């Protein structure tokens, strides 16, 4: 084998073992790939994709779980897991997404969330030659779709399928353990504390799916999506369990203590029996891989 051919083989092997581009690509060889994102847009992406900005925390977690953290050149300001992503430059995200900050990072693809960004931002990035992909995971199945989509963007299809199977395996294990247990208990998810106005999870949310998985009935299953509620409604619905995701910073009463001390809540079964469960807001509120961890933690707190 002559030197030129040998170098070509070595370069090809190195490319196959590094980055998040397709294993079969040659250096300098780009391909256009058409994808349909989660809001139905057809997107053309030049591969291999090696420079990505992810604006939502869940998508940042998915990309990292796919082994492509090295492809992230920017992250939304709330993306903080895994901890190593904090070293990646952050950009202003949310409803006031800073397009100039994103363009300055020179990404190939920007992954956006449909609840925070819209077509206006996507068009601005498109005019700068940057492809945009929207995710919109409202359910566990939606999380699987987001993982599949980002796996396709980053040519990590096998890793995406493995990640989905790991989540499904964790959920299946919980379902098997719960089978035959008492399924009459009810749960109330407090996703926003009284201080800021009570909000909870209703039908068509991954939190309600986790409740069902755990053999519980969501007391607000008649509410569609995420919604604001009153103290009186919670008291009237008398939940057996309360799950709060309020962040605690080490000062003042803990979230469980604050809930137990609320006027009129003393006779709620969850309060009387000490069944107020505080869980990490990130794990159970982000539509990403750690939903399986959150469900496992809740199973242990409820049944073990």
3-state SS, one letter per residue, for the chain:
CCHHHHHHHHHHHHHHHCCCCCCCCCCCCCEEEEEECCCCCEEEEEECCCCEEECCHHHHHHHHHCCCHHHEEEEECCCCCCHHHHHCCEECCHHHCCHHHHHHCCCCEEEEECCCCCHHHHHHHHHCCCEEEEECCCCHHHHHHHHHHHHHHCCCHHHHHHHHHHHHHHHHHHHHHHCCCCCCCEEEEECECHHHCCEEECECCHHHHHHHHCCCEECCCCCECEEECCHHHHHHHCCCEEEECCCCCCCCCCHHHHHHCCCCCCCCHHHHCCCEEECCHHHHHCCCCCHHHHHHHHHHHHHC
Q: What is the model's pLDDT at position 6? A: 38
Query: What pLDDT shows up at residue 19?
Result: 53
- pLDDT for residue 7: 35
Residues linked to residue 74 through DSSP beta bridges, in sequence order: 53
Across the chain, which has 304 residues, the per-10-residue mean pLDDT values are 38 40 49 93 94 97 98 97 97 90 97 90 95 96 98 97 98 93 88 96 95 96 96 98 92 94 97 94 92 95 91
Q: Where are the domains of the chain?
A: 27-163, 180-303
Domain 180-303 in CATH 3.40.50.1980: yes
Supply the pLDDT for residue 23: 46
Q: Do domains 27-163 and 180-303 have the same CATH topology?
A: yes
Q: What is the pLDDT of residue 18?
A: 40
C-alpha 155/C-alpha 160 separation (Å) is 9
- The pTM is what? 0.88
pLDDT of residue 14: 33
- CATH says 27-163 is which class? alpha beta
User: What is the rounded CA–CA span in Å between residue 76 and residue 89?
Assistant: 9
For residue 78, what pLDDT is reported?
Answer: 93
């Amino acid at each position: 084998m002559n030197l030129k051919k040998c170098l070509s083989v070595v370069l090809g092997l190195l490319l196959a073992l590094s980055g998040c581009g397709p294993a079969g690509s040659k250096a300098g060889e780009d391909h256009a790939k058409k994808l349909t994102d989660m809001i139905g847009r057809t997107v053309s992406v030049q591969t291999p994709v090696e420079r990505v900005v992810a604006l939502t925390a869940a998508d940042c977690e998915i990309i990292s779980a796919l082994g492509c953290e090295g492809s992230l050149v920017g992250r939304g300001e709330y993306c903080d897991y895994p901890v190593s992503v904090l070293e990646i430059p952050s950009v202003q995200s949310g409803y006031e997404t800073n397009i100039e900050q994103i363009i300055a990072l020179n990404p190939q693809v920007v992954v956006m969330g449909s609840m925070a960004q819209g077509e206006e931002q996507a068009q601005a990035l498109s005019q700068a030659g940057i492809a945009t992909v929207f995710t919109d995971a409202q359910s566990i199945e939606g999380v699987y779709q987001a993982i599949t989509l980002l796996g396709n963007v980053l040519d990590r299809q096998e890793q995406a399928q493995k990640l989905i199977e790991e989540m499904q395996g964790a959920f299946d294990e919980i379902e098997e353990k719960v089978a035959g247990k008492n399924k009459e208990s009810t749960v109330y998810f407090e996703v926003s504390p009284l201080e800021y106005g009570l909000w909870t999870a209703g039908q068509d949310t991954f939190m309600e799916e986790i409740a069902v998985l755990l053999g519980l009935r969501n007391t607000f299953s008649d509410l569609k999506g995420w919604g604001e509620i009153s103290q009186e409604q919670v008291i009237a619905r008398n939940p057996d369990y309360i799950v709060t995701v309020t962040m605690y910073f080490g000062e003042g009463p803990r979230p469980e203590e604050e809930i137990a001390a609320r006027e009129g809540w003393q006779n709620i079964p969850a309060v009387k029996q000490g069944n107020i469960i505080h869980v990490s807001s990130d794990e159970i509120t982000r539509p990403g891989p750690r939903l399986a961890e959150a469900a496992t933690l809740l199973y242990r707190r409820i049944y073990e």
